Amino acid sequence: MQEQDFYRADPVARWLIDKCQLTPVSLGMLSIVITSGLYLIAATATKTLILHEKHLGLLQDWFAWVWICLLNPVIFGYYLWSFKAIYRLIQYLEQSDIVDTAEAEINLVLLPYQKS
């Protein structure tokens, strides 16, 4: 059983892992750069970087930056991590004597990862 079998059904994951050679951490960091760039361009175009009175501009809104720098990278990183984690978990279970794994049980667990 090869690691590539676990993300073969997802074309986006296959492209990010195989073609772009991204890891979960690098995808998370890249998402910070891309998302913050898009937000800054949009806020500049709409003149909402800094607002006065009761409304907040992008540079004044702490929640937007928590989302950009913390939550967004975690979500993107988890997306790639999940494909590799299931492979490593099954490898660990096969090598350890904790549980007995049968090929049929493994295939049943992997079915969602192998269908497009």
Segment 40-61, tens digit of pLDDT: 999 999 999 999 888 889 999 9
Are 65 and 35 within 8 A, CB to CB?
no
Encoding tokens for residue 42? 């949009």
How does pLDDT run across 25-42, given as a tens digit for each residue? 999 999 999 999 999 999
Element (H, E) at 37: helix 24-45
Q: If phi over 0 gives left and psi between -120 and 50 gives alpha, with beta otherwise, what is residue 17?
A: alpha
Are 16 and 27 in contact, with CB atoms under 8 Å apart?
A: yes
Look up the pTM and report it: 0.75
Please state, in angstroms and rounded to a whole number, the distance separating the CA atoms of residues 47 and 14.
Answer: 38
